[in-house]
Amino acid sequence: MEHLAETFEHGKRPVIAVDLDEVLGYFVDALCEFHNDKYGTTYKASDFHSYTFQDVWGGTKEESSKKVHDFLESKHFKNGLRLVPGAQEALAKLAEKYDLVIVTSRQHIIAPETHEWVETHFPNTFKSILFGNHWGLHGEKKSKPEMCTAIGAAVLIDDALHYARECAGHLQKVLLFGEYSWNAADDTALPEGVVRVRDWDAVLSTLDTLELK
Catalytically annotated residues? 19, 21
Within 8 A by CB and 6+ apart from 79, the residues are none
Please check whether residue 15 is in contact with residue 151, taking contact to mean a CB–CB distance below 8 angstroms: yes
HSE value, Cβ hemisphere, 13 Å, CA-based, for 65: 8
- DSSP lists the bridge partners of residue 104 as 131
Start-end of H helices in 60-179? 61-72, 75-80, 87-94, 111-121, 144-150, 161-167
Q: 40 vs 55, 68, 70, 200, CA distance in Å?
A: 18, 16, 15, 34
Determine the distance from the C-alpha atom of residue 139 to the mean position of all C-alpha atoms in its chain, rounded to a whole number.
20
